[in-house]
Chain A
């Protein structure tokens, strides 16, 4: 087992991890950042979505070795005090139900707004492929538009 050094939510970390260990589990079981969730392990559900150097990635499919020296942002990095505009919009629209998928939803929404500050409904449909078993989709959509100031 080797060590991997990277930056997570702005803080440098060095953890023991096999280079083939998925970033998802490095975050959860090495860094203690359990906001990033395991749902499928095969890039289908998006519950493990994080930003890697600002780009949306599914952490179940990113090996620890690929993260060396890079910067990861997780849901905990949006803000601990709910000051992030998407977090605020999520509260305003009362988006989550069970909440399990919402970390990934928020990261996917973050990536979307970085690319497209005023996304149309169809742009949201195209960009947000995360699974939500509770069916919060209409509220996720409203949350994104509220955060974008276009609700």
Chain B
């Protein structure tokens, strides 16, 4: 389980997320091999006193740079020419840590940024994600938006130690100069008293290797690099074609492989037909691989044409989106519930005791999603009798090496893994399936390197999809509108169960991530989880469970705000009123967002605004406001997004900006269009022609990113910008159309049911008959802090019954459709003293708020029909019908 402490993912959570045991998984043989390499290269010695650093396999890749310079541990290599080569221990998948992490070392090392080169570290336990500033953890992996925050202290120590080693080297070379008279400056060591250059780093590096400084301290602000928008170290190679992605690996004499995997979920190979001459077939997990000479194209062609019969699993036919949704509905109603922790107060009790007109409910759904990294899955491997060498775009070096050891039967120390650039990770490359396949094939062609590349079609249809979810939300408010109880009932497949790491009878906390640990202080909270046993492969998708639960929670809060006439900013601030650091930070972000988004000014004509908030990934706070135009049946367009992010502290602000820009894209395409569906066991999307990705023209015309640096501890940046996009958009749509979307993707939702009457709508300025293209030009004159005034402008009706003098009249009802339990708001006049409200002739419990507003709940047994309000002075009936749906 992902454990949270005060909303912060503990740094060991990723180890668990990536399936790594907490126990030290490394054999003594592996360490002894490392020792051998160290002595063989003659550049040994632990880098830092008290740190578990030791030169590792990465030395091999940098041996040429040592020369007369020096290797100051696994992270820092200084050439005789003064070149500075810093190792990135993480996967670089676009998130910029191959710049941010070297920045931390370079800041302390006091070097010229232009002199810095970066190399991607291969598998090396010395590059493991640190447990703290001086101790290494147990895995080398990239995920959970942990890179900068988990490596920060350790890499500052690395850089500071290397700097002091150089200073001590100057003293060792000329003992007449006391250490107290030496300082580092831009790649040189100077004498403080005279300013004279004692030596360049290149001069001093070889001597520095043997130094053991005891005066290691961090430099003080103002920083030269930290907090500055440093140019990324990986970009030059990414604009001239030279960046080496996994798919670009070429090894002398290599063969080409591709895969043919089960076309339906759960199927296994029945029989394999004859392969053409020169094509070798190798069974691999999930299907078969083919090995060819020639090219990756030849391998993909051979895989496609290979005749294979498949055997269904008992569950294969059940993998059908219609059947699975029906099952989820059933589970939501009757499934076995597991409570997640913490349980706060007594939400069920408060909900049961609350009057009907102070309760809110809604059922939300999110779909399976593909990762769709642009670089298809691939890996290259060479297995000999005693070694295994792997080149892989992976987020999990340690896990890959452990898997390769298991497959080959070799000790971990016999495995070498080179990390390539990743053509996107997004969580897909936390899996090792494709690496296992490459190693399996390399075993079969022992002595020959082989590059295994999936076709795009195999990539789409053999993903580990972001789970779907079906969530019922219930809340109670007090007389002031304050939320007193919140209950979530989540039905979803479990990633941990799929990975085999869920303890039976316990809840998968990752499925409740963003819900159970939401920042909001509601006195009674309960999150229930019901496992959906769907056999669809599921995995971690950028921002994991938060990507779903943020949509649900932020939509529900917005719904409550609208129905109770509360300002959505203030409603959230009211829930963050504990005076804690994180609540203060949320307040600051919301205030800034309100100002930056122009929330209190009218939006552009045809647009409405929606707000959403996400707090997580190390207490990073992201608030977003989306401006949306459009209509159901036509489509929606996001014109502008304002994002305010407080990641605590910032290392590279331009990267933070880029990650939010990218998060908007990731979140928006998922919100608008994306879902993986299944028919009869087969994934319905196989390529980008039907699985819609956002393109240039789809990207909002303006995405304004505001960074608030509160100075709190470093939080994650890669993921927290994704979850708020969808609810910001659907909250805007609710305001724009009066119809609340409770399902994603937006394009797959039916939207409001059109009115069944054909009456021409009176030319009331705020009225449209239904959302059509005209709604894009409809004046949204109110961008006030009272969102209900705009949200009620759709589905407006006029009374069909001429009101008696002083009798009631209904002007609007919102929403225009919904299921049993939906709260409907009527606006009109003369509601005081109402005696009944009916929908389709069925009486509904209701609440009158003054003379102009009534809220009521769609009662059980309701049918689609007109709404009537009866007062002692008359009856008003809507012209349009309210559609009672599922």
**Would you call B662 and A134 a contact (CB within 8 A)?**
yes
Which residues on the B side are within 8 Å of A131 (C-beta)? 374, 688, 693, 695
A135 contacts B422, C-beta separation under 8 Å: no
B236 interface residue per 8 A CB criterion: yes
Which residue among A94, A97, A98, A103 has the maximum number of chain B CB atoms within 10 Å of its CB? A98
A106 touches B374 (CB 8 A): no
Give, as a whole number of angstroms, the nearest-CB distance from A26 to chain B. 8
Tell me which residues from 93 to 151 in chain A have a Cβ below 8 Å from any Cβ of chain B: 94-103, 106, 121, 124-126, 128-141
Whether B296 and A38, one on each chain, are in contact in the complex, defined by CB atoms closer than 8 angstroms, is yes
Q: Determine whether the beta carbon of A133 is less than 8 Å from that of B689.
A: no
- Residues of chain B within 8 A of A36, CB atoms compared: 241
A34 to B664, CA, bound (A): 30
A90 touches B665 (CB 8 A): no
Given contacts A29-B297, A76-B241, contact A100 B697 (CB under 8 A): no
Contact across chains for A135 and B662 when beta carbons are under 8 A apart? yes
> Is B312 an interface residue when CB atoms closer than 8 A count as contact?
no
Cβ contact within 8 Å between A42 and B689 = yes
Q: In the complex, A106→B372 CA distance in Å? A: 21
Q: Are A129 and B696 in contact (CB under 8 A)?
A: yes
- B663 at the A/B interface (Cβ < 8 Å)? yes
Interface centre among B243, B244, B256, B422 (most CB of A within 10 A): B243
| Pair A44/B687 contact, Cβ less than 8 Å | yes
Residues of B within 8 A of A128 (CB): 695-696
Asked whether, in the complex, the Cβ of A138 is within 8 Å of the Cβ of B699, the reply is: yes
Q: For the complex, what is the distance from the CA of A41 to the CA of B422, rounded to whole Å?
A: 19
Cβ–Cβ contact B421 & A98, under 8 A: yes
Q: Which residues of the partner chain B approach A34 to less than 8 Å between Cβ atoms?
A: 241, 244-245, 247-248, 250
B661 within 8 A of A: yes
Interface bits B681-693 vs A (CB < 8 Å: 1, else 0): 0000001110001
Task: Please state if A97 and B240 are interface contacts (CB–CB under 8 Å).
Answer: no
Q: Which of these, A37, A74, A78, A135, contacts B666 with CB under 8 Å? A: A135
Question: 8 Å CB contacts to A: which residues of B213-244?
Answer: 229, 231-232, 234-244
The answer for the CA separation of A74 and B241 in the assembled complex, in Å, is: 9
Q: Determine whether A82 belongs to the interface, using a CB cutoff of 8 Å to chain B.
A: yes
B113 to chain A, nearest CB (A): 14
A125 to B238, CA, bound (A): 22
In the complex formed, the residue of B with least CB distance to A16 is B294
Residues in A neighbouring B96, C-beta threshold 8 A: 97
Most interface-central of B234, B235, B236, B247 (chain A CB within 10 A)? B235
Flag if B696 contacts A141 (CB, 8 Å): yes
Size class of the contact patch on chain A: 35 or more
Residues on B with beta carbons closer than 8 Å to the beta carbon of A47: 374
- Residue in B239, B256, B658 whose Cβ sees the most chain A Cβ within 10 Å: B239
Counting CB contacts under 8 A, is A55 at the interface? no
Whole-angstrom CA separation of A61 from B235 in the bound complex: 28
Give A109 to B707 CA distance when docked, in angstroms.
30
Decide if B791 is an interface residue (CB 8 Å cutoff).
no
**B537 part of interface (Cβ distance < 8 Å):** no
- What is the distance, in angstroms, from A143's C-beta to the closest C-beta of chain B? 9
Indicate whether A96 sits within 8 Å of B455 (C-beta atoms), given known contacts A47-B374, A139-B661: no
Instruction: Determine which of A35, A45, A95, A138 lies in contact with B240 in the assembled complex, contact meaning CB atoms within 8 Å.
Output: A35
A10 CB within 8 Å of chain B: no
The residue that A99 contacts in the complex, of B234, B666, B695, with Cβ under 8 A, is B234
Picked from B237, B248, B658, B687, the residue with its CB within 8 Å of the CB of A40 is B687
Knowing A37-B375, A41-B455, A126-B697, the reply to whether A94 touches B654 (Cβ < 8 A) is yes
Contact indicator B665/A137 (Cβ below 8 Å)? yes
One of A41, A42, A91 near B236 (C-beta < 8 A): A91
A34-B248, A137-B665 known; A82-B374 Cβ under 8 A? no
Docked complex Cα distance between A121 and B100 (Å):
31
Interface footprint category on B = 35 or more
Q: A100 to B297, Cβ gap below 8 A? A: no
Nearest residue in B to A127 (C-beta to C-beta)? B696
Residues of A within 8 A of B94 (CB): 96-99, 134
**Residue B694, interface by CB 8 Å:** yes
Q: Are A100 and B375 in contact (CB under 8 A)?
A: yes
Instruction: Collect the chain A residues with CB atoms within 8 Å of residue B241's CB.
Output: 33-36, 74-76, 103
Chain B residues within 8 Å of A136, by CB: 658, 661-662
Query: Which chain A residues lie closer than 8 Å to B374 at the CB level?
Result: 37, 39, 45, 47, 98, 100-101, 131-133
Q: How distant is the Cα of A79 from the Cα of B515 in the complex, in angstroms? A: 50
Q: In the complex, are the beta carbons of A25 and B297 less than 8 A apart?
A: yes
> Would A29 and B423 count as touching, CB distance under 8 A?
no
Residue of A nearest to B652 (CB): A94
Interface string of A62-93 (1 = CB under 8 A from B): 00000000000011101111100011001100
Flag if B296 contacts A91 (CB, 8 Å): no
Contact with A along B87-107 (1 / 0, CB 8 A): 000001111100000000000
A72 to B234, CA, bound (A): 26
Contact with A along B434-476 (1 / 0, CB 8 A): 0000000000000000000101100000000000000000000
Asked if B76 is at the interface (CB within 8 A of a chain A CB), the reply is no
**Which chain A positions have C-beta within 8 A of B421?**
98-99
Say yes or no for A21: interface residue by CB 8 A criterion: yes
Q: Are B696 and A39 in contact (CB under 8 A)?
A: no
- B689/A44 in contact, CB under 8 A: yes
Asked if B376 is at the interface (CB within 8 A of a chain A CB), the reply is yes
In the complex, A78→B664 CA distance in Å?
Answer: 30
Whether A45 touches B658, Cβ cut-off 8 Å, given contacts A29-B295, A135-B663, A135-B666, is no
B664 near A94 (CB under 8 angstroms)? Answer: no
B295 and A30 form a contact (CB under 8 A): yes
A125 and B697 contacting across the interface, CB-CB below 8 Å: yes
The one of B250, B256, B297 that contacts A21, using a Cβ cutoff of 8 Å: B297
Q: Restricting to B236-278, which residues have a CB under 8 Å from any CB of A? A: 236-245, 247-248, 250, 256
Q: Are B658 and A29 closer than 8 Å at their CB atoms?
A: no
Contact B424 A44 (CB under 8 A): no
Which residues of chain B from 682 to 724 have any CB-CB distance to chain A below 8 Å in the complex?
687-689, 693-697, 699, 701, 703
Give the docked Cα–Cα distance between A72 and B240 (Å).
Answer: 15
User: Distance (Å) between the CB of B663 and the closest chain A CB?
Assistant: 7
**A32 at the A/B interface (Cβ < 8 Å)?**
yes
Which one of B296, B694, B697, B703 has the highest number of Cβ atoms from chain A below 10 Å of its Cβ? B697
Cα of A52 to Cα of B706 in the assembled complex, Å = 42
Contact of A29 among B256, B376, B695 (CB under 8 A): B256
Q: Are A42 and B687 in contact (CB under 8 A)?
A: yes
Contact string against B for A residues 1-30, beta-carbon threshold 8 Å, 1 for contact and 0 otherwise: 000000000000000000001101100111
B311 to chain A, nearest CB (A): 28
| A residues less than 8 Å from B244 (CB atoms) | 34
Q: Given A25-B297, A44-B689, A82 and B662 touching (CB < 8 A)?
A: no
Contacts of A125 on B, CB cut-off 8 Å?
696-697
Q: Is B402 an interface residue (CB 8 A)?
A: no
| Cβ–Cβ < 8 Å partners of B694 in chain A | 135, 137
Interface presence of B47 (CB below 8 A) = no
A28 to B297, CA, bound (A): 10
CB distance from B466 to the nearest CB of A (A): 14
Q: In the complex, which residue of chain A has the Cβ closest to the Cβ of B421? A: A99
* Residue in chain B with minimal CB distance to A60: B297
The reply to whether the CB of B373 lies closer than 8 angstroms to some CB of chain A is: yes
* A79-B240 in contact (CB<8A): yes
State in angstroms the CA–CA spacing of A94 and B652 once bound together: 12
Known: A33-B241, A97-B95. A91 touches B235 (CB 8 A): yes
Q: Which 8 A-B pairs have the closest CB atoms?
A: A35-B241, A135-B665, A97-B94, A100-B423, A98-B94, A99-B238, A29-B295, A25-B297
Contact sample, A vs B, 7 pairs, CB 8 Å cutoff: A37-B423, A38-B247, A98-B421, A125-B696, A125-B697, A132-B374, A134-B665
Known pairs A131-B695, A134-B662 / 12 extra A-B pairs, C-beta < 8 Å = A21-B295, A39-B374, A80-B242, A82-B236, A97-B658, A99-B245, A100-B374, A130-B696, A133-B426, A135-B661, A135-B662, A135-B694
- Please report B residues at the A interface, Cβ cutoff 8 Å: 92-96, 229, 231-232, 234-245, 247-248, 250, 256, 294-297, 300, 372-376, 421-426, 453, 455-456, 654, 658, 661-666, 687-689, 693-697, 699, 701, 703
